[in-house]
Amino acid sequence: MLHVPGYYEYCCRVKVVAGHDVLERIPAILERVHATRPMIVTDRGVAGAGLIDVMTEAMGDQVTIGGIEDDVPPDSSIEAVRRIAEAYRNNRCDALIAVGGGSVLDTAKGANIMVSEETDDLMAFSGVGTLKRRLKPLIAIPTTAGTGSETTLVAVIKDHERHQKMPFISYFLLPDAALLDSRMTLTLPPAITAATGMDALTHAVEAYTCLAKNPLSDANAVSAIELIAKHLLPVMKQPEDRDGRLALAVAATLAGMAFSNAMVGMVHNIGHATGAVCGVPHGTCMAILLPYGLEYNQHRNGHLTAELLLPLEGADTYARTPRNQRAQRVIARVREMNQSLHDITQGQHPRCLRETYDRDGNAAVPFERLPDIVAAAKNDPAVFLNPEDLDDEDYRMVLEHAWAGTPLDCTRIKRG
């Protein structure tokens, strides 16, 4: 079904290069942007997994690497940005290659602002539209198939002194190219493959079912869902499946394009809060909360959720399922996917918040922390485009069910 709102915007200016041997093309891509001495920005996890070695080996001796900065913290900070900008200048680099997830890319974007604008005052460029010209070339190489951050025009940098997260928003922050190479996700541990796959699925589903959807973001979302539905579980069972890995990477980028143009809703809203309060990884939160977001909004957007049964389960199931049961079937299918992922990972992929644990094996989300999550969720802007409102009681109700892993009692949902 074509849903055309009265007004919409759509933009995805990032050049995407995808395949099994894309890393070998880095020298040509650098040449196209007139760069000869890139700096590689990454984190210890990526470097420790040997992915930088895979990349440098693929590039051969065709590129002179100006430096490798591999200590980007999990939460991008202004200190890390300053350090990388200084190294970039000292090593006379002329481009950045960010290898990793959202934090690495944000840090590289921040450093790019500093070196391109020749400034030490990064915060002077925070906000919307303060950048007025092209920055130095930036290539993004995601190492998980989930965040979609390679498609966004945003960087969020934490200023520890002011206890603030500062957003930078400009089309000049878009990477010059996003490289999706199956080798970069081939060794991803099963639990992370599961969480990031469900993260991408949530991006696509929320983009399709929330209020800022448009026909192009819908097409992105449907393709992403189709690919994830087809490849996530097989890749979990056969992690070395290169084609499946590539398909999931492409799906994550498609989902990133969808949500960066259509935004998200309450699943991200509560997920952000749960991550901030209890430190639960983002993808895990998305996987657990997605069926609850769909259930909670069903009286508003059940017709849209129902349409997703086709990409999720195919034509036969779609045709066999009565129209008024399709949304329910989608929700059930998401729960089944979580159950399968839980089984395949031998319990590492949690099905509910009660099953999440910190590194020391303690419960990550004690029941008594739910009010703190509610308080944090109320201040998170992701809820603005959710189809139905949530008050304290609603948040609490959703969280209690997500904690216990029980379906929502739909009679308790207030129709605002």
Would you tell me which residues interact with other proteins (CB under 8 A)? 1-2, 4-22, 33, 129, 132-134, 170-171, 214-216, 218-220, 223, 226-227, 230, 243, 246-247, 250, 253-254, 257, 307, 310, 315-316, 318-319, 323
Nearest distance in Å: CB 215, other proteins: 5
Least distance between other proteins and beta carbon 221 (Å)? 10
C-beta pairs of 154-158 under 8 Å, 24+ apart in sequence: 155/76, 155/105, 155/106, 155/109, 155/110, 155/113, 156/76, 156/106, 157/76, 157/77, 157/78, 157/81, 157/106, 157/107, 157/110, 157/122, 157/126, 158/75, 158/76, 158/77, 158/78
Of 135 and 288, CB closest to other proteins: 135
CB of 13 or CB of 299, closer to other proteins: 13
Q: What minimum distance in Å lies between the beta carbon of 413 and other proteins? A: 26
Output 103 or 144, the one with its CB closest to other proteins.
144
Least CB distance from residue 113 to other proteins, whole Å?
15
Between 13 and 44, CB nearer to other proteins: 13
| Shortest Å, Cβ 317 to other proteins | 9
Q: How far is the CB of 253 from other proteins (least distance, A)?
A: 8
Residue type, 352: C
* C-beta of residue 415 within 8 angstroms of C-beta of residue 394: no
Separation of alpha carbons 412 and 295, rounded Å: 11
Residue 243's CB: how many other CB atoms inside 10 A?
12
**How is residue 366 annotated by DSSP?**
-
Half-sphere exposure in the Cβ direction for 245 (13 Å, CA): 24
Cα→Cα distances 345→262, 283, 284, 363, 381, Å? 32, 15, 13, 18, 33
Of the two residues 44 and 320, which places its CB atom closer to other proteins in the complex? 320
Nearer to other proteins, 181 or 199 (CB): 181
Q: Do residues 381 and 156 lie in contact, with contact meaning Cβ atoms separated by under 8 Å?
A: no
Question: Closest separation between CB of residue 159 and other proteins, Å?
Answer: 24
The residue (of 83 and 242) whose beta carbon lies closer to other proteins is 242
Amino acid at position 277, single letter:
V
Comparing CB distances to other proteins, the nearer of 7 and 411 is 7
In 3D space, the residue among 63, 31, 247, 144 whose CA is nearest the CA of residue 55 turns out to be: 63
Give the span between the Cα atoms of 394 and 158, in whole angstroms: 31
| Nearest distance, CB of residue 176 and other proteins, angstroms | 9
> What burial class does residue 130 get, using C-beta atoms within 10 Å of its C-beta: 0-12 exposed, 13-18 middle, 19+ buried?
middle
